[in-house]
Amino acid sequence: MSRAEAFTEAFQRVVELVKPERLASKRVAHLPWWQYERARLDIWHRIEGLEHCFITSRVTKYLNFSASPTNLVFSNNVYVFTTDAWEMYAAVQSTIHEMWARKYSMSLKQDLQYSPSDCFLTFPFPFNPACDLALASIGEAYHEHRRELMRDLWLGLTDLYNLFHRPDLAPEHIAKVATESRIPAEEGFSRLQRLRALHVQLDQTVLAAYGWNRPGDFGPALELRHDFYPLDFLPENDRTRLTLHPESRREVLARLLKLNHQRAAAAEAAQKTATLTAPKKKAKRAQPALAEPVIELNLGLDLFGRPAVPAATERNLPSGARDTLGGVGYALQLVRELLNESGGALAWPRLVDAFTLATQPALMAQLTKSADAARVEAWTKRWNESLPPGSLLTAIEQLGSNNLVAERADGICTIRLKDGPKATASKHANYDAWLALSVLGPAPALPSAQPTLVIAEFDDFTRRMEALLVA
């Protein structure tokens, strides 16, 4: 504490605002109140020794990555890209990655809600060592030009890219927005035009790294045809962007998906080969390795990368109109049915996984096994729920300790129905639960302390759930 007290004003704010709340909570009262409650050591270990890392906002109007020092405390509102390689930065900063992110992530109102599990782990990066130097060069040049321009115009990323994507951009527009600019508006206009040119060059370099700038296995040479085009998924009054031609966008997405499938198939084949050639050893129960998984779309593998196992029992999609309550009511039904389908109890990470799949049809479709593909496709056409953010925690809170019990053993929290499994109240919610658990695959013999999916909010969900259910 003595080191913390040296920062007099900051420490005083912690005394006034943090200490009372910490000491009033039975869950964290025993922890040092002047320190962060949870140190994300996994991030620190990954970025230790790097010159810098890259960060992006979880919710953003324009997807952008920025270099950041590694000695900062990162907010839970950003994602940290744990590399200092400029060639990797070039790939994620490109329009090619931005298109994939918008295709497979969710949105919050009209903003992109960047989802690593949906659009980062599934993104087939251009692994082409011969192009790494070119990618690194354009990536760093683009970033540094943008950084200096933001500094001189004294603008943030959103304001800068509002100007960047304005088709009729003129010096007077810059003068109106950049009221504290250190440079003349005419110079700002010229440098913004340069940023646009660098962005086109960055996209072309990434395209060349894939080899799609010339004829090949994926088809004829691809022309990106950058210009200002309206994007129909954006608001009518703000949908024009400097981007690829619509035909080029569709072709790029198709090729990325094909490449994703190819790499997942190669990973599956390699796994089968390793299984066939490995010497026989005494059977050992162990938890599957989940670090850096290859996530594929409809490729016949379960979430652990293993060949799909057919569901133990077959069920038909219920006919007729959905009999769910909608909104938070549906979340309550779904939590009950997930527990019912699991004999009345589920490890907390698996409950979070299953709830996430059952409430995100696009994610379910991406991760489904071949054996389940047809039923998942039919299900996604019928699923029509509308859940507010944080519905799982709202459902847990409303069910509360009168209906649920949380038990912790060996570091794993298990949620169970207090009175055991109940008769199904909604055949559609029950089917949703069964399908989500089927796509997840068999529960591991040794439960994991983390969900299979990459769920950024998991630690926060766990903390809030324990505050509600754990005595």
pLDDT of residue 322: 85
pLDDT of residue 454: 61
pLDDT of residue 213: 94
- In terms of pTM, does the model score above 0.85? no
pLDDT of residue 441: 80
241 and 161, same domain (yes or no): yes
Three-state secondary structure call for residue 1: coil
57 and 15, same domain (yes or no): no
Q: Of 236, 254, 272, which closes a domain? A: 254
Tokens of 346: 């589920």
26 and 47, same domain (yes or no): no
77 and 207, same domain (yes or no): yes
92 and 212, same domain (yes or no): yes
Nearest to 85 by CA among 41, 50, 111, 38: 50
pLDDT of residue 178: 97
pLDDT of residue 233: 87
> Residue 269 domain-assigned?
no
- R_g (Cα) of the chain, nearest Å: 25
Q: Of 217, 232, 254, which closes a domain? A: 254
CA distance 44 to 50: 10
H or E segment and range at residue 26: none
Dihedrals phi, psi of 66, to nearest 5 degrees: -130, 140
pLDDT of residue 377: 87
Amino acid making up residue 101: A
Contacts for 148-157: CB closer than 8 Å, 24+ residues apart: 149/188, 149/191, 149/192, 149/195, 151/182, 152/181, 152/182, 152/183, 152/188, 152/191, 153/178, 153/181, 153/182, 153/183, 153/188, 154/178, 154/180, 154/181, 154/182, 157/62, 157/64, 157/66
Residues in the chain predicted with pLDDT less than 50, given as ranges, are: 283-312
Number of Cβ within a 10 Å radius of residue 360: 21
Dihedrals phi, psi of 107, to nearest 5 degrees: -125, 155
183 and 104, same domain (yes or no): yes
Number of compact structural domains in the chain: 3
Contact 285, 445 (CB under 8 A): yes
CA distance 89 to 139: 6
Domain encompassing residue 391:
327-469
114 and 161, same domain (yes or no): yes
Which residues are bridge partners to 230 per DSSP? 240
20 and 165, same domain (yes or no): no
> Residue 102 domain-assigned?
yes
DSSP label at 340? H
> Residue 227 domain-assigned?
yes
CA distance 153 to 40: 35
48 and 19, same domain (yes or no): no
In angstroms, the first-to-last Cα distance of the chain is 29
Q: Of 254, 281, 312, which closes a domain? A: 254
pLDDT of residue 455: 66
pLDDT of residue 395: 85
422 and 336, same domain (yes or no): yes
89 and 15, same domain (yes or no): no
